[in-house]
C-alpha cells in the first residue's frame, strides 16, 4: 500500500531526471576522489630489494603542536646514522650481514655518517623476526626499522611526501564536492518539487498528512540519489584511475601508484549521493508538505509570483552578512586572515544570490523593459513571461550565476596569483649579474666578493623547511649568505632589516607571518625544522612582502649546511657591481659556471614561475564539472516544463520561428542576468584572495580565459534551452 509514495516517479519522471543526473555526477566525482585518497601507492624498494630489514634515522618529524597533540610529517632528507651502527647490528642474532649505504637522493654528506643500514637475515629468520630483534637491540626511539613494502619509503624519501600530497588532495576534494553538490541539488530538487506541486496538493486533498507528503518527497529524492550513486560508480572508478595516473605523472603520487578499487566505493558513492540528495531536499520537502491544498491547486494554474517572505528575509540576512563579511575581509590587516575568509565570503554571496534570485530576476526584467520596443513581439512575450514567473526564471538564472561565481573566482584568483608570481620573479633579482653552475661553495662566494668593483655578493639556494602554522606544513624559501641582500634582491621589506642574515635569525614573509599562520612579528622567536628534521630556533629579523617568487622563509646558509641532503653550496650567486670582463674571466676559469645578466636570470625565473599547477587545475575541473551539470540540468528541466506555453502559442497562431525567437530572448536574458549576478557574487571573494596573495586590488583576468568562460556558459545555456525547444516543436503540429 505504500507504493503511492513512489508513484510520481513512474508516472512523471521528467522533473526528477535532473536530480538523478546531478547525483550521478556528484557520485562520480566523490568515488574518484575517494579512490585517489585510498590508492595503492607503494614505492619500489630499488637498491634495497635484497635487504631483509632497513634501519635509518626517523624519516618523519613528530612534534606536539599546541592543543592538537602530536603531529607528524615526512622528511625530505635523511638525518643520517653513524657508520658504526652497521657493526653494532651485525652482532644481532639472525643477521647475516649489515652494510652502511649512502648515495641516495637527499642523502647525508656529513663525515662519519651513512644514509641507512641494509641488513640481511640468515636463512630461516623472517624479516619480521629480525626487525623485532633489531628494535630490541636499539632500545631507543628515533629510528625507522622497515621491512617489506615499507623499504620503498626509505629508499626514496620523496615517495611518502608524494603520497601525502596526492592522498591529501584526493581527500580535500571530497568536502567541496559535497558542498557544491548540495548547492546544485538544492536548486534541482526545489524545481522538481515545485513542478509537481499539483500531485502533492491532490494527495493533501484526499487526506494525506503533511508528514506523509514530506516522507513521499524524501523517498523520491533518496531513490534518485540511489540511482545516481549506482550510475556514478563505474565512471567514478575509471576517473579515479585516470586521476591517480595523472598525479603520479606530475610527481604528486609515487610512480606506479594505482587507484583504490573496493566494494566500499559502492557504499561511498551511493551513501554520499543519497545523503546529499536528502539534505538538499529537506527545505523543498517541508515547503511541499506545508502548502495548503487549495493554495497548491491554485498555484498549478497560476504560479505564485513572489517567493516566500521567509526566503526573502533569509536572503536579505545573507546579503547583509555578505556585505559585513566583505568589509571585514578586505580591511583585515593580515593577508592570511583575508585568505581564510575568502571561502566563507564566496559561500555567503552564493547563498544570498540563491535566496534572492526571484527578486534579482524581477529587477533585471524591469531594467530590460526598453527591449520590448527594440525586440518586437518575441521580446515582449519573453519579458512578459519572465515578469509573470520570476521564480521559474530564477531557477534558470541561479545555476548560471553559480557557475560564473564558482569557476570565475577559482580560476581568476589562480591566474592573478600566477601573474603576480611571474611579475615578482621578473623583478626579484636587482643584482647586475647572476652566476650559476656547480661548485658554488662558500669559498667561491668569497672569491666573487673579492673581485674588483663588487659592492655586494650573495649566495642563494632553495630550501624546504617545516613549520607549525598552526599545523605542520612544508614551507619553501631560500638559504642565503653574503650580502647585503638589499643590494641584490628586491623583497619589499616592511619591517626589520635584511642587510645581513646571521645564524640565529630568520626572515618571514608577510603572508606567513600573519595571524592564522606563524603569527609572528619582528623580534619574535620561532622554531622551524630543516629538511632532515633538525630544529632551528631563531629570532625574526625582517618581514618582507614579495614572497611569491622567493618563498616564505629566509635562513642563513650556514645553518642549513649539512641538513639538506646536498653538498653545501648555492644555486646562484647574485653580484652587484664588478667589472663584466673580470667576472666573465672568473666564470670561464671554472667549468660549468655561467654568468648572465639580471634580465636574463629574471626571465628564466619568470618562465619557471609561469608553469600552471596541476593540483589547481584538478580542483578547477571538479568545480567546473559540477557547475556545468547544475546549469544544464536546471535549464533543460525548466525548458521542457514549458510545453503548455508552447502548445498555447501554437493554438494562438504563432509560427515555429516566433516560438524559437521567444525562447532565444529568454536564453539571452538568463545569460546576461546570470553573468552579471555571478560576477558580482564571485568578485568580492576573488578580490580578497588577490589582495591577500599579491597585494593588488586589480585581479589579472586573461582576455582569452574570460571570453572562454563567457562563451562556454553562453553555449551551454543556449544548448540547454534551444535543443529541448527544437524537440518540443517537432511534437506540436499546431505550429506552422
pLDDT digits (tens, 9 = 90+) for 75-129: 989 988 998 999 999 999 999 999 999 888 888 767 888 999 999 999 999 999 9
Percent of the chain at pLDDT above 90?
13
Per mean pLDDT, which of 89-103, 368-382, 592-606 is the most reliable?
89-103
> Residue 36: what pLDDT?
84
- Measuring CA to CA, which residue among 484, 487, 486, 479 is closest to residue 505? 479
* 67-76, 178-187, 284-293: segment of lowest average pLDDT: 284-293
> Residue 677: what pLDDT?
92
Percent of the chain at pLDDT above 70?
85
Q: What is the pLDDT of residues 666-711, one digit of tens each?
A: 888 989 998 999 899 888 888 888 887 777 778 888 888 888 888 9
| DSSP letter (8 states) at residue 2 | G
pLDDT above 60 for 7: no
pLDDT above 80 for 557: yes
> Residue 463: what pLDDT?
92
> Residue 411: what pLDDT?
83
pLDDT above 60 for 299: no
> Residue 200: what pLDDT?
67
Give just the sign of the alpha carbon dihedral 681, 687, 688, 689: positive
The pLDDT confidence band at residue 304, using thresholds 50, 70 and 90, is low
* 314-323, 350-359, 646-655: segment of lowest average pLDDT: 646-655
Query: In angstroms, rounded to a whole number, what is the distance separating the alpha carbons of residues 175 and 173?
Result: 6
Long-range contacts of the stretch 255-259 (C-beta < 8 A, 24+): 255/43, 255/44, 256/42, 256/43, 256/44, 257/39, 257/40, 257/41, 257/163, 257/166, 258/39, 258/40, 259/35, 259/36, 259/39, 259/40
Cis amide bond preceding 143, omega within 30: no
Domain residue ranges of the chain, discontinuous segments joined by +: 1-42+157-302, 46-155, 311-429+610-736, 438-592
> Residue 614: what pLDDT?
67
Q: What is the pLDDT of residues 232-273, one digit of tens each?
A: 888 888 888 888 888 888 777 888 788 888 888 888 888 877
pTM: 0.74
* 214-228, 425-439, 577-591, 637-651: segment of lowest average pLDDT: 637-651
Mean pLDDT of the residues in the chain: 81
Neighbouring CB atoms inside 10 A of 342's CB total: 23
Query: Which segments of 530-613 does DSSP mark as H helices, in order?
Result: 557-560, 580-588, 598-609
Residues, the chain: 736
pLDDT above 60 for 15: no
Mean pLDDT of 206-219: 72
Mean pLDDT of 455-480: 88
Query: In angstroms, rounded to a whole number, what is the distance separating the alpha carbons of residues 33 and 110?
Result: 42
The pLDDT confidence band at residue 301, using thresholds 50, 70 and 90, is low
> Residue 212: what pLDDT?
73
Query: In angstroms, rounded to a whole number, what is the distance separating the alpha carbons of residues 690 and 688?
Result: 6
Per mean pLDDT, which of 305-314, 377-386, 576-585 is the most reliable?
576-585
C-alpha cell at 259: 587507484
> Residue 99: what pLDDT?
92
pLDDT above 60 for 561: yes
The pLDDT confidence band at residue 294, using thresholds 50, 70 and 90, is low
Higher pLDDT, 38 or 145: 145
Mean pLDDT of 263-292: 73
CATH topology of domain 46-155: Alpha-Beta Plaits (3.30.70)
CB burial readout 393-410, b (16+ within 10 A) else e: bbbbbbbbbbbbbbbbbb
pLDDT above 90 for 68: no
> Residue 621: what pLDDT?
76
> Residue 393: what pLDDT?
81
Identify the burial level of 9 via C-beta atoms within 10 angstroms of its C-beta, where 0-12 means exposed, 13-18 middle and 19 or more buried: middle
Contact 605/428 with Cβ under 8 angstroms?
A: yes
> Residue 1: what pLDDT?
38
Contact 273/225 with Cβ under 8 angstroms?
A: yes
Q: What is the pLDDT of residues 406-444, one digit of tens each?
A: 888 888 888 888 788 777 777 788 888 888 888 888 889
Amino acid at each position: 500500500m505504500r507504493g503511492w509514495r513512489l508513484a510520481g516517479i513512474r508516472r512523471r519522471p521528467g522533473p526528477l531526471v535532473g536530480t538523478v543526473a546531478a547525483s550521478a555526477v556528484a557520485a562520480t566525482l566523490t568515488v574518484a576522489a575517494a579512490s585517489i585518497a585510498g590508492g595503492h601507492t607503494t614505492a619500489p624498494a630499488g637498491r634495497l630489494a635484497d635487504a631483509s630489514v632497513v634501519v635509518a634515522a626517523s624519516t618523519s618529524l613528530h612534534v606536539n603542536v599546541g592543543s592538537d597533540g602530536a603531529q607528524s610529517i615526512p622528511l625530505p632528507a635523511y638525518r643520517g646514522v653513524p657508520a658504526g651502527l652497521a657493526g653494532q647490528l651485525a652482532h644481532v642474532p639472525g643477521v647475516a650481514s649489515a652494510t652502511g649505504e649512502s648515495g641516495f637522493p637527499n642523502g647525508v654528506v656529513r663525515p662519519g655518517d651513512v644514509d641507512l643500514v641494509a641488513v640481511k637475515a640468515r636463512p630461516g629468520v623472517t624479516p619480521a623476526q629480525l626487525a623485532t630483534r633489531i628494535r630490541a637491540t636499539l632500545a631507543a626511539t628515533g629510528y625507522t626499522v622497515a621491512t617489506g613494502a615499507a623499504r620503498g619509503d626509505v629508499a626514496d624519501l620523496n615517495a611518502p611526501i608524494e603520497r601525502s600530497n596526492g592522498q591529501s588532495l584526493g581527500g580535500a576534494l571530497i568536502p567541496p564536492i559535497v558542498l557544491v553538490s548540495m548547492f546544485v541539488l538544492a536548486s534541482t530538487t526545489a524545481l522538481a518539487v515545485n513542478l509537481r506541486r499539483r500531485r502533492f496538493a491532490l494527495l493533501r486533498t484526499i487526506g494525506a498528512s503533511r508528514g506523509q507528503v514530506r516522507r513521499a518527497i524524501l523517498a523520491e529524492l533518496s531513490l534518485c540519489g540511489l540511482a545516481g550513486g549506482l550510475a556514478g560508480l563505474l565512471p567514478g572508478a575509471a576517473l579515479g584511475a585516470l586521476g591517480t595516473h595523472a598525479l603520479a605523472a606530475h610527481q604528486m603520487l609515487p610512480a606506479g601508484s594505482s587507484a583504490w578499487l573496493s566494494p566500499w566505493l559502492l557504499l561511498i558513492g551511493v551513501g554520499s549521493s543519497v545523503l546529499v540528495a536528502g539534505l538538499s531536499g529537506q527545505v523543498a520537502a517541508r515547503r511541499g508538505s506545508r502548502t495548503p491544498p487549495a493554495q497548491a491547486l491554485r498555484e498549478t494554474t497560476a504560479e505564485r509570483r513572489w517567493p516566500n517572505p521567509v526566503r526573502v528575509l533569509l536572503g536579505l540576512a545573507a546579503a547583509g552578512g555578505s556585505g559585513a563579511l566583505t568589509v571585514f575581509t578586505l580591511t583585515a590587516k593580515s593577508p592570511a586572515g583575508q585568505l581564510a575568509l575568502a571561502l566563507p565570503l564566496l559561500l555567503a554571496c552564493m547563498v544570498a544570490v540563491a535566496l534572492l534570485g526571484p527578486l534579482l530576476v524581477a529587477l533585471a526584467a524591469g531594467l530590460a523593459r526598453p527591449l520590448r520596443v527594440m525586440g518586437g513581439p518575441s521580446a515582449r512575450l519573453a519579458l512578459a513571461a519572465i515578469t509573470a514567473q520570476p521564480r521559474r526564471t530564477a531557477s534558470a538564472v541561479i545555476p548560471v550565476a553559480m557557475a560564473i561565481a564558482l569557476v570565475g573566482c577559482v580560476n581568476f584568483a589562480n591566474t592573478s596569483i600566477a601573474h603576480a608570481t611571474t611579475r615578482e620573479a621578473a623583478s626579484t633579482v636587482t643584482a647586475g649579474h647572476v652566476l650559476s653552475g656547480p661548485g658554488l661553495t662558500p669559498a667561491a662566494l668569497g672569491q666573487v666578493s673579492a673581485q674588483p668593483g663588487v659592492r655586494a655578493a650573495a649566495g642563494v639556494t632553495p630550501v624546504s623547511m617545516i613549520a607549525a602554522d598552526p599545523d605542520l606544513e612544508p614551507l619553501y624559501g631560500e638559504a642565503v649568505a653574503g650580502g647585503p641582500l638589499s643590494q641584490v634582491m628586491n623583497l619589499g621589506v616592511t619591517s626589520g632589516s635584511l642587510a645581513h642574515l646571521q645564524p640565529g635569525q630568520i626572515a618571514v614573509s608577510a603572508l606567513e607571518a600573519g595571524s592564522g599562520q606563524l603569527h609572528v612579528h619582528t623580534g619574535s622567536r620561532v622554531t622551524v625544522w630543516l629538511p632532515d628534521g633538525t630544529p632551528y630556533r631563531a629570532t625574526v629579523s625582517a618581514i618582507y612582502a614579495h614572497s611569491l617568487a622567493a618563498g616564505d622563509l629566509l635562513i642563513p646558509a650556514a645553518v642549513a649546511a649539512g641538513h639538506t641532503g646536498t653538498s653545501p653550496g648555492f644555486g646562484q650567486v647574485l653580484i652587484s657591481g664588478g667589472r663584466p670582463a673580470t667576472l666573465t674571466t672568473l666564470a670561464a676559469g671554472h667549468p660549468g659556471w655561467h654568468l648572465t645578466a639580471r634580465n636574463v636570470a629574471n626571465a628564466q625565473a619568470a618562465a619557471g614561475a609561469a608553469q600552471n599547477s596541476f593540483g589547481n587545475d584538478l580542483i578547477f575541473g571538479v568545480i567546473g564539472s559540477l557547475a556545468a551539470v547544475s546549469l544544464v540540468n536546471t535549464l533543460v528541466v525548466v525548458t521542457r516544463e514549458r510545453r503548455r506555453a508552447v502548445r498555447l502559442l501554437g493554438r494562438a497562431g504563432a509560427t515555429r520561428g516566433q516560438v524559437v525567437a521567444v525562447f532565444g530572448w529568454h536564453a539571452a536574458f538568463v545569460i546576461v542576468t546570470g553573468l552579471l549576478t555571478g560576477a558580482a557574487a564571485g568578485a568580492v571573494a576573488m578580490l580578497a584572495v588577490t589582495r591577500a596573495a599579491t597585494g593588488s586590488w586589480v585581479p589579472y583576468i586573461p582576455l582569452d580565459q574570460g571570453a572562454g568562460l563567457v562563451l562556454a556558459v553562453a553555449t551551454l545555456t543556449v544548448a540547454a534551452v534551444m535543443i529541448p525547444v527544437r524537440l518540443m516543436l517537432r511534437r506540436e503540429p499546431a505550429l506552422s
